[in-house]
Structure 1
Amino acid sequence: MPAKTRSKKTTTTTKSATTTKKVASASAKPTEEVSKTAKKVEPAQKDTTTKTAAKKTTAKKVTPAKKTTAKKSAEPKTEAKPAVKQATLETAKPATKKVEAKPVATKTAEVKPATKKVEAKPVATTAKKPAAKKTVTKKATAAKKAPAKRATAAKAANKKVAAKKATTKKTAKKPVVNTAKTEQYNSFAMDTCFEMARAMGVNMDYENYASLLLDNADIDALTKKVLDDFHVDTKAFTFEKDGYDTDLIRVIFDRVADTVDIKASDFEQIGKDVKAHASYTIKDDATVNNEEYQKEFDIVRKVLMIAQRKNIHQSADLVELIKVDVTDMIQTFMDLAYHVLPLFEYDDVKYYENFIFAVLSQLDDLHQKWGTRALMDIADLYIKHGDYGQGDANYNYVLRENQIKDMIYYRFANVYVDIDLDKAKAIANSAFQYVDDRYDYYPKLIEILEK
């Protein structure tokens, strides 16, 4: 009887050896065939589980077979080694532990998805997972859930960072300047401040600062621009050591802004004023008209300054800055000036002449539209103030420079009707060398002659 048991043992070893050889030969094929060999190994595993004594002997004897098969399988392809070793290891593991048929079925089911990739590593990892205990599967599921927790934690962290950024934007404030230091800077003369700024490398004068104030309403941004343009190191100068620092530049901008007539921060209000006064109608009250003239004069002066500083020569380009067209406003201003200036001083007429021609010379489109009218308006004002020589000279100039003369002759003659009727008729009569009944103002010239 003992001799029989030995023969059975030898037969089982030979069978396991043959099965491992088959597995080794099949390892060179695609991974789909590996799953078939795994199925063939299952009966051998069931036979070994029937007896505990056989389990121990088969486990010991199968192990050498693994090594020999590994050496043989190394010859065809190096990639197949992990698959063969893993398959043999899996056949050995069930021999040491009681494993039901259902988990074995899960082995073959999970090996199949590995056919998509020829590499052996994915097969090895999928073969290990089914052989694990229930506790291992719980760990695996926990491991799967862990990235989600990390992702949510990362999202939460991102939300916190975003919230911090949002709060920093909301709570961001302008740099606080030392009050005592600012008062000290303000106590200095402007020229002294300019010299201290030059000592830091900022070579600018009053006009340079005033010009920049027309470009931007944000003084902090202007200060940064100046320091960047002149490459001034903010840490190179200290108030305690040098008596000045880069905060001086902002103080200079503030002081210049208080003294200039116009700056970028005024553009919005200027636009509102232009729009409000463009629709003014002349009243019977001379005082009201005079006050309105002063207001409109100041508004047009600011418009002129903007155009000059910004080198603007078309009224349409001013719209980009003050958000309104100035054409109607300037026309209203000229009408009002013509109405009120006969009651003003003679010098006021001269002042208005210089001013209105500065405006029209700056804005080319308005000069083309109202240049001739402005000359005749001023000529009338001179004549009404008794300066007939200057008034006549202006009219004679306009007559020489224009082809259509009926309107010009009518205005020239009409201004003298209440001053010198004979001269008015003489001017009207001289018009007929150029004007006949085809012209619009011919009837009006006849009316002057008939007075």
Structure 2
Amino acid sequence: MPIKTTKKVTNKKVVKEETKPAVEAKKEEVKPAEVKKAPAKKATTKKAAKPAVEVKKEEVKPAETKKAPAKKATTKKAAKPAVEAKKEEVKPAETKKAPAKKATKSAVKVKKEEVKPAEKKKATAKKTTKKATTKKTTTKKVTIKKMTKEEQYAKLSLDTCLDLAKAMSMNVTRDSIIQQLILNPDVKSVSKDLVNKYQLTGKFNFEEDGYDEGLVEVLVSKVYETADIKPQKAEDLQADVDHALNYKFTDVVADGEEYKAQFDTMRKVLMIAQHKDIHDSKKLDEEIGIDVEKFVEEFMDLAYSVLKTWKYEDVDYYEHFIYAVLSQLEDLHDTYRNRIMMDVADLYILHGDYGLGDADYGYILRENQIKDYIYYRYASIYEGVDKDKAKQIANQALQFVDDRFTYYPNIIAVLEG
């Protein structure tokens, strides 16, 4: 009996001394590749199996549980703790795969093989995510490339374009642009004039500000498309021109309405000449079947009469418009340039802008050798404004005019009046 006790004690010491290094090895070195190298000891007693189970509970993670080497369980009681440890740590999907009472090496191999596909799926998922992200980035880049500046401008409404024009410090409205297009129905030309007027070239950057000087042409184009400023057919103008040539001055109100109608008709005549690039009134006569020169004369007479009682701004607008007509029809410009300049100068003086009126008359007097009629017009317009200045102008005229000139008596009448 004493001899048996000595052997048991010896065995216990061996188990304790050899088991601890194995546990420590698991803590520090348990990796998928090193599991095969760890020596698997047979459990000789029930007590020797418990330390191995406790290590699993405390230190082995769910992912490592699959990879840990399974020891042969000699008894049913030794197997139960191992099963319980797995129940606590293995996910529901993995519980079904847990081995039965006896864990064999083949079971361990199966688990190792099952771990690999799972890892591959995760890796594949990561790659897929990267690809998806790359695709999204590519899509955004394509969108930016497709949406050019011109396309973005084209999508803007007229109101938005006007708001952006204000942001660019442009003092324009739809009506003011229409007026410019009436004088010159060329979108590019009007746009260029506005860019130069407000000094917009290089002032704004589309990438930084969201607009640049290119927006001006888009704005003018949208106004042109929405306004009634298209050239009219020639046959539709003939009746309007015939009515204008037969009109008789009646009163201020009726004359004002007629002026508006004739202005609109003259605008259409101008647009046809510009559209067909006609610069001679006779050629335009043949094109639209009207006497253009007579109509221009009638229109200037009516405007001179009506605008005396209208606003200063109306005079300014008329000046720009009638000069556009005469600039287009060059033969009429040579014939009527002095007359229209004196008409406009008179209207400015009557509206109190003496400086501009005097400057216009001064220019005409310098440019013409025969000055009697010009002096008479200049002096007579001041008779109803400033008689002393009228006499002063008439006295200046005597330096260049004597009884040989046609309007000498008229100048003397102003001087003595």
**TM-score between both structures, scaled by the size of structure 2:** 0.46
**TM-score between both structures, scaled by the size of structure 1:** 0.42
